[in-house]
Structure formats: C-alpha cells, structure tokens
Structure 1
C-alpha cells in the first residue's frame, strides 16, 4: 500500500483534520503533493466523495458503505485534493463554494468500478445542502457518466411453481393415458403374451375304440397302462438301475442298460434326455417301479391294446403300434374311426415349488374324444371253433396254408374267417414270417379247380343248355388244343347223368357242357358270381382275383377255364359264389362290419350289402339238388368225392376241388384241396368253405373233414333243426 501523507487530510470545509478551530487558513490553491494525492485502502465512488464533501472531514474516516465493499479492495484509488485555485478548474471538477478556500475532495479511480446493486440495497440519493443554486456545469468535453448496469433479477418462484406443476400434471396425464390404453386396447395381446409363462398344459388321452363281435364281446379294446422312460443325463448307475428294472419290465438287463447309455441326438451335440424303456406296463408293476425312486427313471400314463382272445381272429383284427395307430387288418382299415382325439387342459399355476393351479385363475379344457367302435359280424364262439378245427386238421400237413370261412346265407354276414397259421395280435412280432399275419381268405390266390364246376353247371342250367335230367355219353378224355383233359373217375364212354358228372367231378363232361354254353356266356356268369373283383368285405388289401378275357383264350383255355383252371380266385370269393346258390340264386355281398358305435354308445347299422340275381330260385334249387350227390352217392357205380364232408342229421350240398397255387405268378409245388358246401340243403342256412394248400398234396384229405366239423358245430350252435330226412335224393350215375 502506498504511504499516506503525513499531513492531515482536509475535510469538506478545507480545514485540516485534528487542527484547532482557530487555525490559520491557507491560501486557496496552495498545497503540497501530499495534499494532491492520497491513497485509500478502499476506493470510493463519486457519490461517496460528494457525500463526504457535504458532511465534512469527519465522514472520510467512516467505513465505506456495504455497497463499496463489494468492489475490488486491491485496486488503488487516487484521491485528489484540489485547492480550488482560480483558472485551475478542469473538466469534470466541482467549483469551490464562494468564500473560503475549502478544497474539493475527489476520488478518481484508475478504472471505472461497477458495483452490483439490488434495488433494495441502492443507497438513497444524497441530500443537497441549502444554499444558492450552482450554475450548470459545462458539457463540452465532459465524458458522460454511465449509469450502473442494473443486476438481473432472481428467478420468480411463482413461475417456477407453475412450470413444475405443469410438468407433473403432464407426466401424470401421460401415464394415465398409457394405462387406459393398456387396460382397454391392448389388454388381450399383453395378457396372452404373459399367459404362456404361467400356464401348465396337461394332455387328456382319448382311448381308442374297441372292436366287438356280434354278441358285444370285446375282441380288441384299450386299457389304461403306463410307460417307463429314462433320462440318460440324470441316471446315475445305469447298470444297477437296469438290474432292478429287468424283472419288473420283462426286458433283459443288458438291453435296458444299453438304452440308458448316454448319447446325443442324431446330427447334433445335444444329449438325449428321453428314451422309452417299456410301453404298456401294467399299473401294479408301474407302482413298484415308482417305489424304487431311481434317479432319471420316470413313469407316465399310457394306453395298451388288449386282445382277450390272443390269436382269436387275429388275422382279421390286425394290430396297432405303440402309439395306438392301426398297422394291419381292421385296425388299419378303420384307424380313423377307432382312433380317438386327445384333449388338453390349460390352467394357471403358481410359481416356485408349489406349481399348483391358481384358484379362480385361467383354465381351459378341451375334452378328449374317445374313438368310435366297431361291431363285427363275427361270432367269437364260431370263430374260435373254426380256428381250432382248422389248426387241428392242418397239423396233418406240413408247411401249409389254410383258410376257412363261415357265411350266414340270407344276410351275407361272415360269422367266422380263420387263417392258418395264426398269431397273437398282442405280440405281432413273434411270427416266423410277415405272411403269417395275412388273412388267407382274402389274400390266398388259387386256381379253384373243381369247385368252379358249380358255376359252369349253374350257368348251363340258367341258360337252358342242360336240365337236371340231361344225360350224354362221357369219354375218358377230351383234347383242347395241345392239352388232353381226362377224368379221375373214367366213365368209359357210358352215358352219365348230370348229378353223376358233378358227383364224380367229370372234367370231360363239364368241358362238353361249357362248349354248348360258349366262352362269352361262361365269362358273364363268372362275373355274376363275383369272380374277378374284390368282394368289398371290409378287409384291407383284399385280392381281386383274375379272369381270363375271351380274346386271350387259347385252344386249351376252352378246356381249362370250365373246370376252374386259368382262373384266379380267393376262398372268400368262392364262398360268396356258393352263397348265391344257397340264397335261391341271389348274390349277397359278404361283409364283416355289422354296425358302428359312437363314443356315447349309439349304434349305426352298416350299409346294406349289395345284392343282385344270378340264378332263378328254381334253377338254384335244382343245382343244390345236383350238388347233394357229392356227399351222398355211394353205391355199385362208385363213391362220390365228398362223402367225408357229410354232416350227420343234415342234408349237405357241396363240391370238392383240387387246384393249384400261384405266388407272384409262379406255380407252387403241391395242390390246393378245397370243399365248399351248404346245409341244410333243402333250405340252406350257412355256407362253409375250407381251402388247404400243402406242398405234399395232402390238402384234399383235410378239407372235407374240416368242413364237416365246422358245419356241424355251426348248425348246433345256432340250433338249426336237423333235416326232415337225413337222406339225400337217390341219384343214378349211369342211367340205363
């Protein structure tokens, strides 16, 4: 800080501070350098300087006002003491009051100092002393005094309050609108989006429909079971687990251990976490498995197809897969009807370990729809006996195939349809060959042989070519083309009756009748009797057979076709043809389906079978009478071919046959022996057909006895009264 002058300052009146009142006044305008300059520790504004001049020297010793202290305390201010000499007035200097040499104290700042003021803190304007009015100061050359800048006002709290209120209201309005939008417009979308994370889905299995016989007894139906599965990633000791499970599942422990072996899904690196150990496990065994509490081993609800009869009608019924889909037989043909539609239950569950349904929460149930059921025309008792008799007779042959069919004459309903060999439908994989599971009655293609002669004789009767009383000489052989046809019972050229020709199965006599009938009419009657096309019985994969068109006949065909060669037919087709003869000449389509049963138990009868006339009732009756000689002629002229088929107490009309078997167009070794007959012959109720193929040719000795036993049981089972006379009409084989 610059040193002060040692001379006391003068006050506004020009007197020295601290001097006596009567001190001698100095001359105006005279003073030292100490009087001209004085530094103060704080600068003073011009206003303060003027105030000090008015109030006297004592005011200079006062502290600067608060507003002054807000300036820069380190900026020196130059205090000029002017003695007020005449002519020394400068621009911007105040003139000395008249009279006296009092100097004017001015504080000149080295740089203008701007002080911030509040309106409230601004110093009041200085009061003027009373006295003469000073003349106006000249303006020329004077720097205008700059008015101090007014400091900015502080923020208005009311404006801030209004602004904040508006922001808060806007925020709440936005949130409210969004909530209304979520609750009204997009509620379903958001609800559905979150629903899946808290829903549990349980499948409601639908049982597969049953298959019943005509009495309502189940032939195949589904029962509740369990399946056992494993998670290989969780199983701790697969060998120990397999050892415990093996006796309960009936599966070798080594096989179970291999199934539980850790492995990855094909084509990925993801470990396999599910593998079946057994399907269709009985519930008691499943409970024992659950009691073992093995890590990685689980049990779940399953369905099992149960076949009460084992192999009973198995070749007809077929079987299903482990997933309850029909694979063969009627199970496959009517899979869409039998298979049920599983349901689902979706409901909200809690989180955590409870995972229990939320009371009053979302719940939707799609009920399961059980499959429909089938009522067959099969009678399980007749089916059982037919299978047993056929298998017993087939035991006398080797490497053979057999078929037997029982048909109700008026309706065409198939009461039994047996195949040999058979199999257990509950274990379809335990067969020697897949062909063992086929239904022989609809898939076994044979040359029918002599049983076809009934069609030739029936057509001749209907066309008037012959009558029951017709006779003509029959030579031992006849040549057609390059083939010589001969009889097994030579007539030696003698005259034979029509019943005699039929009873002794004369090839020569039949060919001569066919020559009179002509090939065109013979083919027409073959079609009328149902040959050359599937019967539509209801079995899948039924073979249609084959007829040789006339334009493809060779010279030898005129001899082979009438006696049942160069003709392909199934046992069922031939049984249906004989049923037309038994049914007074009207063909009735054979069928297996009697009615369809809905899940609620309502029965709907199957469509009525197709029918059409083939023979007149009179000619059909005449043909049946001719056919009775096959089982009754036994005298000096010889024995008929079908005496072994006679049923005690009943008149039987039928025919034996010896044919050939072709497999994929290749002739197989051996012969096909057959017998088809009806009883009681005077008014037939049932037709039974038996076909047996054996490489050794033993079929002919098996078919007739099997027919006798099957027909006898069927007649007794349905309590058909015996014939009024058990004796057939008397026939002359060689009329004189």
Structure 2
C-alpha cells in the first residue's frame, strides 16, 4: 500500500478536494460556490470517493473514470474524512455496511462535526470520494450501478399503520358498547326491569264480596259473610290418620272422608298434587281452632260463604251459588253478573325466604276489589213465610203432590210472595233433590182447566158476544167432534145466567159462548192475557206454556180449549191474567225485582213492567162482579174460598198435567181470586197437584187463609160496599 501523503489529495485537474463543492465527473471543473461554507447541508453535499478493494490491496486503479464509477464496499480504512461523513449521515452508511462501530440508524438528536485529518505528505494519495447519495443532476451522465447491491435490512412494520388500526378497533369497540348501552337503557329497559320486578313481586288476591238479596223491606234474604277455607298439602302431611281424626270434629266431616282427601295423588302432568280443599265456608272460630293445632300440611285461608237467615225462606226463588260464589240456580244464577263483584289484587315487592315481606319503598300497586251490587225484591219476607207455611200444611195432606202459590199486588203487578212445595234449604242445597229446588210457579206447566173460563168470558164481554144480563139455555152435555163435554151441575136445558155459569163452572155454557166468539178471537185474547210466552218475571228457565194454533184445532178443540184444556200455562201466567181483570182490564207484567243497590248505596229502580190494555174498565168490573158468584152462590165451586168480611171474586179449576210422558187427567186443582172484589188490592193463585185426587180442598182453603193473612198484614179494611150482590142462576 502506498504511503499517505501530507498534502491533500487532488483530482486529475488539480482541484483540491474539500475546498469547494463537488466536481463533476465529466469535466473536472470545480463548481461555483462559496469556499469554506460548512454545516449540515454542505457536509451532505460533499461525497468523497471511497477506495476500491483493489486500492486496499495495493493494486492501482485502472483509471480515474473507473474509480469514480466504482462504489467500494464499506471497509475499515484510514480515510481522514470518513468519520465525519459517517456522523453527518446519521450513521446510515455505516449501518448499511454492517460496521460494528456505526451509530444506530435514525438517531439524530445531536449532529457532531468531525474535522478532517491533516494531509500526511506530498506522496500521500487520498482515497477517491464516495458516491453521492443525493439525486444526480440532469446535466451529468448517470454513473454505472454497482455490480452487487449491499444487503438490505429487513423491512420494519409501519408504526403509523398500527396506530390507525388500533384506533379503528378502539373506536369500533366503544361504538358497540355505546349502542348496547343505548338499547339497554332505552329499548330493553322495560323488559329487564319487568323481569326483575316479576321475580321479586308477590300477588295477593282481594276477593270482592258478593251482593246481597233483600226483601222489599230491606231485610236480608241472603248475604255474603266472611269465612275461611281449610286446605291441605298432601306431600307435607306426616300422619294422615291422626290428622283426619283431629280435624273431623272441627270441620264436621267424617274422618274417613278427610283421610281419603289427604292421600297423595298425582296430577295429569305427573306431578304430585300439593293442594286440596278440605272444607269451604268454615266459621272463623272453627278455623282458628284448626290453626291452633299446627298440623303439618294443613292451612287456613280467607273465604266467603252465603248466609241464608231464613233457611228455606224463598229458597226456590233465591237459588244458591257454588263454593266459588258462582250462581247456579234461581235469582243467584239469573243475576249473577249483577251480584258478583270484581276481585282486586295487591302486587308488591317482597324479600325471599324468611324475608318474604313487603319491601319498604319498593314497588306496590293495589287494585281495589269492587263489591257486587245487591238486589231488592218485591217479596215481603213475612208474607212469603206465611204463604209457604200455609201451602206446606195443605200439601202435607197430599202424598207426592206439587203445590204452587203466587200473590200479586194490584195495580203494580209486583209479586209479594211466590211459594213452592216441596222446597229445600238454600243454606244446604246439596241435601235436596232437583224437583225440590224447582220454582213451581214458573216451571209447573199444566192444563189450567176451568180457571181459564174467565178469559173466555172476558173476551166475549169485550167483543159484545154477551152482556152481564145474558142468559142461555144450557143442556147437560154438548158434543164437539167425537168428544162429549158435560156439566157436573146439570141445568137440564134451563136458561142459565152468566154468573150462574161461572158459579157452577158450566162447560156447556162456556163452549156455547166460545162458538159465538170464534177460535181466532179467542186465541187473540189468550195472548193478550199473557198466555203462550214467558212473563219475564225474572226467574231463570221460566216456561212459556203453549197455545194451540188455529190451524191445529180439531173439532174437539172447539170444546176443550175454551174450558182450559189443550192449553199449557203456568200458575204465574194465570195469576197475571186474573190480575188484568182486577186491574180494570190492564195487563201488567209480573215482576220480582224492585231495585238494584250499587256498592256505593245508589238505588236504581228496575225497568218499568210491560203493560197493555185487554178489557175496558167497565167490562173488567162486570166480570169481577160475575166472578163473585163463585164464592157466594149456594153450592158453588168456590164457596170454601170465601174470606169473612171481604168480597172475593175468583174461579176454581180442575186441570191436568203430563207425568212421565202421560197426561194425568183432572189431578190439578186450582183457585185464583182477588179481594176486595169491589176494589181489588191483591190476586192470589193456588195450584195443587195430587196424584190421588183431593186437591180442590187444598187449593180453596189455602187461598182463603193466604188472602185473609195478606189483607190483615197490609191492614186492608173490610169491604165497604156491602155484601156481594144476589145472583140468580136460573132466571125465569
């Protein structure tokens, strides 16, 4: 290797290196510029040529141009300018060459300038300048690329890309959380809040008391009272036999029945039954004794039961309810929607297990129970009791019989009493039979018999077929079609007055008058008097009866229909027909409901009854007078129904009913009358069915006793118009 020279190295043109800006490789002329300008920009612009490998080994270069075109590898050399260039370049050149002493790339906090070494001598030859790293000017020819590129370091990840990706992920995460929070707070809040509340809430039913039923004076016929029910959880009962034995005297239920109820049983879904009623409507005092026993699996809870102070008083009218307070029969069933209230409930938050109590300040909502409304009937409790008593006494003489009695007020049409026999106790309906629970006044359908004759005579009067003074020759019998109709009181062809025909209940006289009236007009008046359809009194299941249509009449029907056969009617329908006569010819719908009393005590009167004109007042008064002959004429059919001190107008009847698909002929006796006859206040109808006969005596005497009590109960003064007129049966 040639020794270093103390003089600075010059290019072929003699220019001193480092004294001015870089000399172009083609012309060798120095660039114009300020000598001595230093600094970072000047240092970066100065790029000395490095030595070639051949120079390192002492081999002379081929030429100056070749030297300039060759880019030497980074080696350790004694170039005095190399350290300064390495520092000014930030260590990048050294880093690329792989030198150990190179500073880390990118470290540029402090730039240190290293002075060039002093030339060693005239014979010293400087290494060629390194190639420029800055882009070459366009006026210079491009240098030859090195034959071998230095190895590049592995490409590092871009920190900016990582930052952007992380930011995007963070924003996405926060946006997702924000959207979810919005849904939780705004959209899903009710569902989650409701679900949480439902898990903590308890519901307690607040039963609504059922409305009462009162009589016209406000006395209770039936009402609801607080009670208790006793239940059992069979899965928790330890000893069935001993538990049943302990409960039997308190619940008045046989121990054997209780033991059967306490046996474990499975439900339809296969699970064990955990609830069974042992008794309903238990008295509170008895329920407290049950609780005091502290029997495992036995519990007591609030209940309601119907209290019937009168027992069987108006039981066939009132009916009864189930243990769940649902009306099953009678007015309890017909007006169940009025009597039944609306149960309330209390929903509140409670703790768990031993803290199962309302949380103070927690959710609590109470829906008050709405008690049912009450019914005020037109029934008079005292009159109802006496009517039932009289009917029962009379029917006790007839085995297997059925009796019915109706008392109506004139002119209102209100039903003051309505009795049936047999009867039952509404407090214990399970101990009775279906027949005993029927209301005979509205379900007892019969051929009314001779009590129907008042309708025939009333129609004939109104149509002018007869007058109160009419007399007709009456034979002992009359044939209609293939049927003979006879009289029990034979006239033997004599002329008979209308009052006489009613007094002796002449079939022949009635049929003769009906023939003059005609079937069409007779049917029309039957309908006007209220036959052929339910009265709408208020009882459920009221029978409508049936009228024989004109096109179904046979020849014998002309004889049977006028005297009350081939006609189906109920005692109540016939009572309403006679009330029309008593009310000066105006029909008034019979009714049981006086008013409805709301839970707040407000009284709402019942809808006004249906009314219609059937007879003129004059004809109605004339008919009433003629009907007095039934209770005043010697040997008349209704003499035993007369009430001392009062004028009574009425009519007896003997009809039939269908029993087991067969007609039981002439076994239904009846009497329907009104008093005082000159100004009627009440109408009473009594029907008695006796399989063995003899009902006429019961009906007449029962009517007399009922009317006598009714007149005295309401303090009706005796008849002021004197006694009934003297009737002539067979005028000359």
TM-score of the alignment, normalized to the shorter chain, above 0.5: yes
CA contact (8 A) 2:405 2:420 kept: yes
Change (3 A) 1:733 1:152: closer
Q: Within the alignment, does 1:249 sit opposite 2:251 as a pair?
A: yes
Name the counterpart of 1:699.
Answer: 695
CA contact (8 A) 2:654 2:666 kept: no
Change (3 A) 1:728 1:115: same
Name the counterpart of 1:374.
Answer: 375
Residue 341 of structure 1: CA displacement?
0.9
Separation (CA, whole Å) in 1 of partners of 2:396 and 2:466 = 42
Separation (CA, whole Å) in 1 of partners of 2:543 and 2:149 = 126
Separation (CA, whole Å) in 1 of partners of 2:119 and 2:339 = 130
Q: Within the alignment, does 1:662 sit opposite 2:651 as a pair?
A: no
TM-score with structure 2 length normalisation? 0.79
Q: Within the alignment, does 1:519 sit opposite 2:519 as a pair?
A: yes
Residue 130 of structure 1: CA displacement?
6.9
Residue 392 of structure 1: CA displacement?
0.7
Change (3 A) 1:664 1:125: farther
Residue 297 of structure 1: CA displacement?
1.2
Q: Within the alignment, does 1:135 sit opposite 2:125 as a pair?
A: yes
* CA shift digits 1:576-632 (9 cap, x unpaired): 000001001111111111111211111111111111111111111111111111111
Name the counterpart of 2:596.
Answer: 596
Residue 666 of structure 1: CA displacement?
2.6
RMSD (Å), alpha carbons: 3.6
Change (3 A) 1:426 1:116: farther
Change (3 A) 1:138 1:468: closer
Change (3 A) 1:661 1:115: same
Name the counterpart of 2:730.
Answer: 734
* CA shift digits 1:115-160 (9 cap, x unpaired): 5966499x99999797336435799xxx99998988999999x999
Say which is worse superposed, 487-496 or 440-449, in terms of deviation: 487-496
Name the counterpart of 2:276.
Answer: 275
Q: What SS does the aligned partner of 1:435 have?
A: coil
- Trace 1:107-122 onto structure 2 (pairs within 5 A): 115=100, 119=104
Separation (CA, whole Å) in 2 of partners of 1:227 and 1:621 = 60
Q: Within the alignment, does 1:462 sit opposite 2:449 as a pair?
A: no
Name the counterpart of 2:140.
Answer: none
Q: Within the alignment, does 1:720 sit opposite 2:716 as a pair?
A: yes
Residue 702 of structure 1: CA displacement?
0.4
Name the counterpart of 2:639.
Answer: 643
Name the counterpart of 2:134.
Answer: none
Residue 294 of structure 1: CA displacement?
1.4
CA contact (8 A) 2:406 2:441 kept: yes
Q: What SS does the aligned partner of 2:354 have?
A: coil
Q: What SS does the aligned partner of 1:277 have?
A: strand
Name the counterpart of 1:220.
Answer: 222
Say which is worse superposed, 493-502 or 599-608, in terms of deviation: 493-502
- Trace 1:140-539 onto structure 2 (pairs within 5 A): 179=181, 182-266=184-268, 268-431=269-432, 433-539=433-539
Name the counterpart of 2:541.
Answer: 541
CA contact (8 A) 2:678 2:721 kept: no
Separation (CA, whole Å) in 2 of partners of 1:95 and 1:282 = 122
CA contact (8 A) 1:669 1:695 kept: no
Separation (CA, whole Å) in 1 of partners of 2:574 and 2:444 = 12
Change (3 A) 1:181 1:643: same
Q: 1:653 aligns with which of 612, 626, 649?
A: 649
Separation (CA, whole Å) in 1 of partners of 2:180 and 2:364 = 29
Separation (CA, whole Å) in 2 of partners of 1:601 and 1:646 = 44
- Trace 1:58-77 onto structure 2 (pairs within 5 A): none
* CA shift digits 1:378-414 (9 cap, x unpaired): 1111111111110011000000000000000100000
Change (3 A) 1:118 1:704: farther
CA contact (8 A) 1:446 1:659 kept: yes
Separation (CA, whole Å) in 1 of partners of 2:439 and 2:685 = 14
Unpaired segments ≥5 residues, structure 1: 1-83, 97-111
CA contact (8 A) 1:585 1:620 kept: yes
* CA shift digits 1:641-664 (9 cap, x unpaired): 111111111110011111111247
Q: What SS does the aligned partner of 2:326 have?
A: coil
Residue 441 of structure 1: CA displacement?
0.4
TM-score with structure 1 length normalisation? 0.79
Change (3 A) 1:533 1:125: same
Separation (CA, whole Å) in 2 of partners of 1:250 and 1:492 = 70
* CA shift digits 1:100-120 (9 cap, x unpaired): xxxxxxxxxxxx997596649
Separation (CA, whole Å) in 2 of partners of 1:585 and 1:95 = 151
Separation (CA, whole Å) in 2 of partners of 1:646 and 1:593 = 31
Name the counterpart of 1:7.
Answer: none
Q: What SS does the aligned partner of 2:430 have?
A: coil
Say which is worse superposed, 443-452 or 521-530, in terms of deviation: 521-530
Name the counterpart of 1:567.
Answer: 567
CA contact (8 A) 1:501 1:509 kept: yes
Separation (CA, whole Å) in 2 of partners of 1:675 and 1:650 = 17
CA contact (8 A) 2:655 2:665 kept: no
Change (3 A) 1:476 1:153: closer
* CA shift digits 1:252-278 (9 cap, x unpaired): 111111112111112x21111111111
Change (3 A) 1:688 1:131: same
Q: Within the alignment, does 1:610 sit opposite 2:600 as a pair?
A: no
Name the counterpart of 1:48.
Answer: none
Residue 170 of structure 1: CA displacement?
8.4
* CA shift digits 1:237-264 (9 cap, x unpaired): 1221111111111111111111121111
Change (3 A) 1:212 1:131: same
Separation (CA, whole Å) in 1 of partners of 2:477 and 2:665 = 25
Q: What SS does the aligned partner of 1:496 have?
A: strand
CA contact (8 A) 1:651 1:727 kept: yes
Separation (CA, whole Å) in 2 of partners of 1:692 and 1:238 = 52
Separation (CA, whole Å) in 2 of partners of 1:162 and 1:293 = 75
CA contact (8 A) 1:670 1:695 kept: no
Change (3 A) 1:390 1:116: farther
Residue 487 of structure 1: CA displacement?
1.0
Change (3 A) 1:411 1:664: farther
Name the counterpart of 1:20.
Answer: none
Change (3 A) 1:117 1:384: farther
